[in-house]
């Protein structure tokens, strides 16, 4: 039960922060900048949290669960990414579709790798 509560609390905090960032940045351009930023930052953080979780003296299993599964799970969003790509395709905005899709995938993976690298060098 404790683990479920940790995931719930972390997920709630991550979801609220994602909402605030996306609400403020997505209307700025036709590119869903808020969602892109949230997913890249979340990828960096999950790499960092999971890497630090492997170092027993840095993060306990419960803290890793709260931050990686809970917070990052609530903060990042594949469903919004998918919906926004569908909207870009529907509107015929193929350039931003390509930038957003490729950027999300490649920058997301690079951010996870950077987070893992940071965790090894702390």
Per-residue pLDDT of 54-92, as tens digits, reads: 987 889 999 999 999 999 999 999 999 999 999 999 999
- Cβ distance 44 to 67 under 8 Å? no
pLDDT at site 55: 84
- Provide the number of structural domains found in the chain: 1
Residue 35, marked binder: no
Lowest mean pLDDT across 48-52, 53-57, 112-116: 53-57
Q: Please count the other Cβ atoms lying within 10 Å of the Cβ belonging to residue 94.
A: 10
d(CA 91, CA 101): 15
d(CA 85, CA 62): 35
Q: What range does the domain containing 63 cover?
A: 2-120
Name the pTM for this structure: 0.92
Give yes or no for residue 18 having a pLDDT over 90.
yes
pLDDT at site 122: 86
pLDDT at site 56: 74
Residue 73, marked binder: yes
């Amino acid at each position: 039960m404790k683990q479920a509560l940790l995931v719930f609390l972390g997920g709630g905090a991550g979801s609220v922060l994602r909402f605030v960032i996306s609400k403020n940045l997505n209307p700025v351009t036709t590119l869903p900048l808020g969602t892109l930023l949230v997913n890249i930052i979340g990828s960096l953080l999950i790499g960092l949290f999971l890497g630090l979780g492997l170092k027993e003296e840095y993060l306990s299993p419960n803290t890793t669960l709260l931050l990686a599964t809970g917070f990052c799970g609530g903060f990042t969003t594949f469903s919004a990414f998918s919906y926004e790509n569908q909207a870009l395709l529907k509107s015929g905005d193929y350039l931003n579709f390509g930038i957003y899709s490729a950027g999300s995938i490649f920058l997301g993976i690079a951010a996870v790798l950077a987070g893992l690298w940071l965790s090894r060098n702390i």
